[in-house]
Amino acid sequence: MDIKVKKSDLKKAISGSRKALSKVVIQEERGHLLFDISGPKMIVQGTNNDLKARSIIPIENVNNEDFSFTADPKILEKLITKVDVQDVLISFDKNDYTLKVYTTESGKSFSTLQSFLPDKMLTFNDSLKMERKECSINKSALLFTLNYASNFLAPLKEDQKQYDFVVINKGIAFAANGSNKMGFIVFKTFEKLSDIKIRKQILPFFTSYIENMNGSEIVLLETEKDIGVESIDGTSYFSFLKSTLESPKVPKEHIISENPYTKIDKNRLLKVMERVIISHTSSLGIGLELKLTGSEEGACLDVNLLAKNKSLETVNCIRVGDSNEEISHVVDYRLFKSIVGSFDTDKEIRLHINDQSKFFKIYNSGEVDGQKYILAGIGTYAKIVRQS
């Protein structure tokens, strides 16, 4: 039972499918991938029952036999990386369930790996044979959205169950840490998607898998139990179980705010804040007073350190839609920096600290692959500030 497979194809299939395996393996076979040989193709799949991944790659089926085997992806991937050939010959012995990988053209050099009976493996149904809703979307737009929203999720150790995911719903994606910050992105490309929830625990695996998918367009799909992505040609697939929690309701004013606001250079603001806190011994509990003065193009934002060691910086800005009334608010340095820093732009951002809200808001707009978006980051003002 021999097959030949292109080294680059096999390595990519292993790398993608192993993302669905458990990090902690109790039974050795649960740490293996399943390889199904069917005619001129090989199906590589892995699952931990929550995550599911499958890749389909072309092969040369030397003996024209259909069979299945398993292999440890960590060992196999390392071995494939070091072989001296571009077309790898793999031989499977069904009597003792061993896998022989030939490492040179001579056929004399090889390494042997242990395999398991396929019926010991966790498997999953083909999503093409299930009732499903699907939508073709721009790959870059989805990655941009997930990377931006991930800045607003609570750390994994925190138990913010209601905000345990990134939500994509009718053109708007949002995430929150459940207490003091929220991030939104408005993208027309997501208009057809309704209440898609991507759990924060699987977000890194999901994002990483999408990054390695072929093509500029991918299929986002939903079945009765799963949310997933699939390549347009159907050769790669990744999914995860749905969350049973309801998405939090978000007031519309959180997403879009009209005047007044301040236009300010993002990079300049970040640099000023970092200078202001240099004299503080710890970044924990640092309060910054933001004071807006002046009007129109003559406006200024003062950034003042509220601590025993005094520090003050001033940033020129443009004030839009209100008078020259002095406005002052206190923010937590780490919270404010994390929201400002989540905006990947060298342009001005729109800062709302003078619109009578209970929280500050930051907006920006741009394009990804010709598709326009609006970003919004929201954070609460600080109520208690440590003085030291």
**How buried is residue 201: exposed, middle or buried, by Cβ count under 10 Å (0-12/13-18/19+)?**
middle
Intrachain domains 2-120 and 253-380 with the same fold: yes
Average pLDDT on 271-287 reads 82
Structural domain boundaries in the chain: 2-120, 132-250, 253-380
Q: What is residue 218's predicted lDDT score, i.e. its pLDDT?
A: 95
What is 2-120's CATH superfamily? DNA Polymerase III, subunit A, domain 2 (3.10.150.10)
- Give the pLDDT band of residue 258 (cuts 50, 70, 90): confident
Checking if the pLDDT of 48 tops 70, the result is yes
Residues sharing a CB contact under 8 Å with residue 356, sequence separation 6 or more, in sequence order: none
CATH of domain 132-250: 3.10.150.10
- The rounded percent of the chain whose pLDDT value lies above 70 is 93
Q: What is residue 270's predicted lDDT score, i.e. its pLDDT?
A: 95
Q: What is residue 283's predicted lDDT score, i.e. its pLDDT?
A: 61
Checking if the pLDDT of 88 tops 80, the result is yes
C-beta separation of 91 from 67 below 8 A = no
The answer to whether domain 253-380 has CATH 3.10.150.10 is: yes
Average pLDDT on 265-283 reads 87
Element containing residue 79 per DSSP (H, E) = helix 73-82
The pTM for the full model equals 0.88
Q: What is residue 103's predicted lDDT score, i.e. its pLDDT?
A: 87
- Amino acid occupying residue 377: G
Q: What is residue 128's predicted lDDT score, i.e. its pLDDT?
A: 63
Checking if the pLDDT of 292 tops 80, the result is yes
